[in-house]
Chain A
Amino acid sequence: LAKTTQPISMDSYEGQEVNITCSHNNIATNDYITWYQQFPSQGPRFIIQGYKTKVTNEVASLFIPADRKSSTLSLPRVSLSDTAVYYCLAVKGGATNKLIFGTGTLLAVQP
């Protein structure tokens, strides 16, 4: 499973767009890039997943360049409730779906 590297923490203000980058230099051909969000004392929640180019859903956008060695999670107009830890994972594209979590990025949104 490819190792991912992301900033330990980020600060933002309400209404701003937040971009969290993730490095995965050794990503495998059949790995999907997946992001999860975790609030304190809760289980993680799936945000978005992509393989390449751009993926957008109602919550976020995920940008993946052609070489797939990095990715960027974009959260538009964050609010205080977006304060959480965001995990970037390279998920093997098979049925096992075994997830290995890295350190994650603690996003603190201030008023």
Chain B
Amino acid sequence: DTGVSQDPRHKITKRGQNVTFRCDPISEHNRLYWYRQTLGQGPEFLTYFQNEAQLEKSRLLSDRFSAERPKGSFSTLEIQRTEQGDSAMYLCASSPMVLYEQYFGPGTRLTVT
């Protein structure tokens, strides 16, 4: 069973450093999403790809955030000049073209010190 995988699972970084997370979606899914979740809250949408095209970006995605999905397979989310407020769980999800069901990976827990 190859579900959505994310790497790393945990990342501790100092304020001002850059970090990059990777997501590998379910292989036959061509839609990929990034969400951010803080303690006690539900996930909040960041951005969405259909194949390699980034179709939507949330206002939460500041200029320090960038996401890519080269060749429409795995995706990376980079945060530049991290701030303490970036500390959160970053979740990736994927879905097939015709359904709204989104399947989540285990997440990457980011702690900015």
A interacts with B: no
B-to-A contact residues, CB < 8 Å: none
A-to-B contact residues, CB < 8 Å: none
